[in-house]
Structures are given as C-alpha cells and as structure tokens.
C-alpha cells in the first residue's frame, strides 16, 4: 500500500506529484493520504489545499483515502500510528525545501520516519517542480550510502513505465593524499574492479525489475569525495532524480554539515530521493 505524508506546504504540493504518479503505476491504483493537523494552517487554507490534492488524484483515476488526524505526541508519532508497519507498505514524504542553517533532512519528520525503519520510506526533495513527478532518468549511487537490491527494487517499481534510464554510479573511494599518488596501473586496477562489480549488479537489477539492459547504464569513477562525485555524475548523465539509500549512522548524525546525505541534498542539480527499507 502506498501512503503519502502530506504536510500541506508548497514543497508538499510538489512532492504530491510523485505520490500521484507512483499510485498510477501500481496495479491497485490507490493512494492513502495522511495529513497531521498541527495548527500551522487555518482550517480554510488547509481544506483548500486538501481539496485540490484530492481532485488531482481522482482526476488521475486513483482510489483515494484521506486521513486528517490531530497531532498526538507530535507529527512523527501520529504518522507512525496511522501508517502500518511492514515491507508491503511504502511511505512517501518530503524533506525541507530550504535548509536555512539547519540542513534539509536533519531534525525533520522525514528523517525520523526513515530512522524508524518500520516500512519502506522515501523522502523527496524537489528541485525542479516542473517535472511533475516524472523524472524519467535516475542516478542510483552504489557508494557512499547503503543499498540493497530488495529495498531499491521496491522504490524503483514505483516509477513504473515512467522509468526511462537508471544510471548506476560506483565510486571507488581513495582517501586523502593516497588519491593523488595513485599510479596509472593502480588506477586501472581499481576501475576494472569497479566495472566487474557493476557487471554483477546490472543483470540482477534488470532481472528484478524486468528492465531491458539498454535501460541501465553503469559508471565507475575514482574519487576522494563521494558526495561531490554523485552531484557531478547527476549533471554528466543528465539524471533528473538521485536515489540514495540512508544508513542509520547518517540519520543519527547531528552535525549535518558533514553528513553525506545533506551534502548531496544541498549540491544536487536535480530532485533527490532518500530511501530506507524496513530494518
């Protein structure tokens, strides 16, 4: 079941396009929307935003369920009570639209939902609202953040036929001064190891999703800065969404400036999705 935690912000409206498109790609074509009433908006403004979202979802041919509970014990706790646990459920939510000295994920409801690990969670930052939830070309980093075939397959299936190309990025990390002292032979050896790894991942991903090999492209680079390479690769491959796995270690970091998730969110030239499966 697909759930959407809608916060009734402008950014929430942008993320809602992903929710509608994801629901359209599923066989049951259903969407469960949850908004926790916390007093941020007046009743009239909230009703207007919810009605607009409901109409768009219904116009898309979806069976829509809306739940608007009052906050009890905080927004996160209320959402946790409304959305079932289990690997069969996916919860979509948004990050902050702007960091303003706080980071885009750190300290947010989205971060706490990801950390809880009770279901599949995808937190999206929208950079280009004009995509309307149809990025088409995705960048999937296989370095710098945890990923598993099971978890990423669940998220990639949400895109359905909208998925045009998946760019796999494997960054071979060489720390500090060693990176600048690598011999040509060592560079080639590391790149070959990276390509061998991708040759294992690509067919497994295609088989799991039923994708033609032409719709998956692999890239290997050497670097001492994974976050930077992810942003550079998104530009180079013209990807319109970066899809990154989240580790509990990164989610628990309070110093957000050095957090690789925060760095990618801040540097990315495109939309970013942070995902985590059930623990």
Segment 11-31 shows an average pLDDT of 96
Q: What is the pLDDT of residues 29-59, one digit of tens each?
A: 999 999 999 988 999 999 999 999 999 999 9
* 2-276 placed in CATH 3.40.50.12370: yes
CA–CA gap between residue 61 and residue 79 (Å, rounded): 25
**What local confidence, expressed as pLDDT, does residue 99 receive?**
66
Q: What is the pLDDT of residues 61-83, one digit of tens each?
A: 999 999 999 999 999 999 999 99
- Domains in the chain: boundaries: 2-276
Binned at pLDDT 50, 70 and 90, residue 182 comes out as confident
Stated pTM of the model = 0.92
**Closest C-alpha among 93, 137, 132, 100 to residue 115:** 93
- What proportions of the chain, in percent to the nearest 5, are helix, strand and coil? 45, 25, 30
Say whether pLDDT at 60 is over 80: yes
Q: For residue 33, list its beta bridge partners.
A: 4, 66
**What local confidence, expressed as pLDDT, does residue 250 receive?**
58
Q: What is the pLDDT of residues 238-254, one digit of tens each?
A: 999 999 998 766 565 55
Q: Where are the alpha helices (DSSP H) in 141-240?
A: 149-157, 184-209, 226-236
């Amino acid at each position: 079941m697909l759930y959407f935690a809608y916060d009734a912000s402008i950014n929430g409206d942008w993320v809602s396009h992903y929710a509608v498109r994801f629901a359209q790609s599923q066989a049951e074509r259903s969407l469960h929307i949850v908004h926790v009433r916390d007093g941020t908006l007046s009743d009239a403004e909230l009703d207007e935003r919810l009605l607009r979202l409901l109409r768009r979802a219904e116009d898309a041919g979806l069976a829509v369920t809306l739940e608007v509970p009052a906050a009890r014990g905080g927004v996160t706790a209320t959402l946790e009570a409304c959305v079932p646990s289990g690997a069969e459920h996916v919860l979509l939510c948004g990050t902050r639209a702007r960091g303003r000295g706080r980071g885009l994920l750190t300290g947010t409801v989205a971060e706490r939902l990801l950390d809880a690990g009770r279901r599949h969670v995808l937190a999206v930052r929208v950079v280009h609202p004009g995509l309307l939830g149809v990025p088409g070309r995705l960048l999937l980093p296989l370095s710098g953040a945890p990923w598993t075939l099971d978890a990423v397959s669940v998220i990639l299936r949400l895109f359905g036929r909208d998925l045009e190309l998946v760019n796999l990025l494997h960054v071979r990390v060489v720390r500090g001064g060693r990176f600048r002292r690598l011999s040509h032979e060592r560079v080639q050896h590391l790149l070959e190891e990276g390509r061998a790894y991708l040759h294992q991942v690509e067919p497994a991903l295609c088989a799991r999703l039923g994708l033609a090999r032409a719709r998956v492209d692999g890239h290997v680079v050497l670097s001492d800065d994974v976050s930077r390479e992810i942003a550079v690769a998104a530009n180079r491959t013209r990807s319109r969404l970066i899809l990154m796995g989240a580790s509990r270690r990164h989610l628990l970091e309070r110093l957000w400036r050095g957090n690789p998730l925060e760095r990618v969110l801040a540097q990315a030239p495109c939309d970013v999705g942070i995902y985590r499966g059930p623990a």
